[in-house]
Amino acid sequence: MGKKVQKIIFWYGIPAYGHVHSNLYLAKCLANKGFRIVYYSFPKFRKVIEANGCNYRSYPVSSEEIVLTDGSQILKLYRLILQYTKKMLPILEEEAMQEEPDKVFFDSLALWGRVIGQRCKIPSYSFYSIIGIARVGDPAFWAYAKGFYKGFLQYIKEWPRIWKLRRELEEEWELNDLGMQAVLMNQGDWNLMGYSRRFQPGGKRFGERYLFLGPMAVHRQMVEKNNFEYPKGTLIYISLGTIFNRNEQFLKEIIIQLGEYNREISECGGKQNSEYSVVLVWNKLNSEKEIKFPPNFIVRQFVNQGEVMQRASLFITAGGVNSIHEALYYGVPCLMYPQQGEQYINAQQFERLGFGRILKKPSKLKQEIIQTMKLCEQWEEQQREEMLQIQIEQLWEKRNKKRQKR
């Protein structure tokens, strides 16, 4: 018998921590199944990608060239995805044609991954680390639409460049289906959702091509360790994500309200110590002002979030999918301060399910902290377990059914 040939998966990621972290556990499971995972990304993600059993491969552009803007700038994001696809597609297609991967996995924002799957006729899997839309009119569609129209006029100048890029891609690569929704939520032969069906608004309406695998980010292999000692007492962890951590007005409110001893907090749901401390993730490099933090604040640009969560009594977050599910995994209630469309959807779902509260008035931060800390006393454990369940076996079941049909 000849030597068994190892099957190859090409995985096309995007340069955003939340998106990379959400799918690495799945990539690791596939590597453990015997697949060779070639994961396209950028140097700053190399260590964590390799730590999860993948073979890192750099995109044919520098990390300075490809910067996906935040989700509140929808038209700019749309234009950038078209632009990067046009630039990278010649090299990416050549590599796929030469190495002939057996499957293609791609982030739902990575249009180039969808195109490679279609043009090379390779089975494709789109991974969603954000709330999905199955069709126009879905509950999530209207939530996204609200955010889109809010910033439409501000970025309307993007349209001429968008139409030019669309025309070039259609003519040079014979591509279609380049509308905004199709490009911002690229579908594969299978669509893999990085959360539970219960969390998806209108989840029952999503057909069999959508596999709800559960929130996997918490199970990824992390390489960073925190370089600080944890103080005793009630710990409040604050992170507005890697994009929305520049709201200095809210930061000032946090310092004013939490930068002093507050007996109320420790008496209402916190741990039994009389003092509390704050671990704050803040990108001070993007601030023009020097901000002085109180002595009970530990401030870092990056932390091992899971490590902090294991000690936290409360998590103040913008409401990213990975972060709120990681908090749920460790039993930490969330006080959410969403900044854009997708985060509003996440926050509303978590509040509806009783796992967090939305902070509507930062001036009421202290009162909201007290109320949010009480939530975990009322959680339905069965519902929590359903939200956290990992169901990767669906992938193998679908593959086996396909074989049986043949």
User: Confidence band (pLDDT; 50, 70, 90) for 359?
Assistant: very high
Q: Which of 85-94, 154-163, 261-270, 353-362 has the lowest mean pLDDT?
A: 261-270
Contact 237, 309 (CB under 8 A): yes
Q: Is 237 helix (H, G, I), strand (E, B) or coil?
A: strand
The predicted pLDDT at position 156 comes to: 79
Gap between the Cα atoms of 54 and 37, Å rounded: 5
Contact 8, 112 (CB under 8 A): no
Token look-up 């893999």 returns 192
Q: pTM for this one? A: 0.88
Q: What share of the chain is helix, strand, coil (3-state, %, to 5)?
A: 45, 15, 40
Residue 83 has pLDDT above 50, yes or no: yes
The pLDDT tens digits for 8-24 are 999 999 988 889 999 99
Torsion of Cα atoms, 213 then 218 then 221 then 226, to 10°: 170
Residue 77 has pLDDT above 70, yes or no: yes
Contact 304, 226 (CB under 8 A): yes
Residue 249 has pLDDT above 90, yes or no: no
Average of per-residue pLDDT across 94-102: 97
The predicted pLDDT at position 134 comes to: 78
Gap between the Cα atoms of 56 and 389, Å rounded: 28
384: amino acid identity, one letter: R
Greatest mean pLDDT among 67-71, 141-145, 224-228, 234-238? 234-238
Q: Is 113 helix (H, G, I), strand (E, B) or coil?
A: helix
Nearest to 321 by CA among 395, 387, 381: 387
Helices (H), 241-362: 248-258, 263-267, 305-309, 321-329, 341-353
Average of per-residue pLDDT across 343-358: 94
The pLDDT tens digits for 147-179 are 666 656 667 788 899 999 999 999 999 998 999
Gap between the Cα atoms of 113 and 231, Å rounded: 45
The pLDDT tens digits for 196-243 are 999 999 898 899 999 999 999 999 888 788 999 987 779 999 998 644
| Domain at 8-216+391-405, CATH from 2.40.37.20, 3.50.50.60, 3.30.1370.60, 3.40.50.2000 | 3.40.50.2000
Spatial strand order in the sheet of 234-239: 297-300, 276-281, 234-239, 314-317, 334-336, 356-358
Q: Is 222 helix (H, G, I), strand (E, B) or coil?
A: coil
Greatest mean pLDDT among 63-67, 135-139, 342-346? 342-346
Q: Which of 52-66, 268-282, 374-388 has the lowest mean pLDDT?
A: 268-282
Q: How far apart are the first and last CA of the chain?
A: 24
Fold: same for 8-216+391-405 and 234-387: yes
User: For the chain, what are the domain ranges?
Assistant: 8-216+391-405, 234-387
The predicted pLDDT at position 351 comes to: 96
Sign of CA dihedral 106, 109, 110, 113: positive
Is 3.40.50.2000 the CATH classification of the domain at 234-387? yes
What average pLDDT is seen over the chain? 86
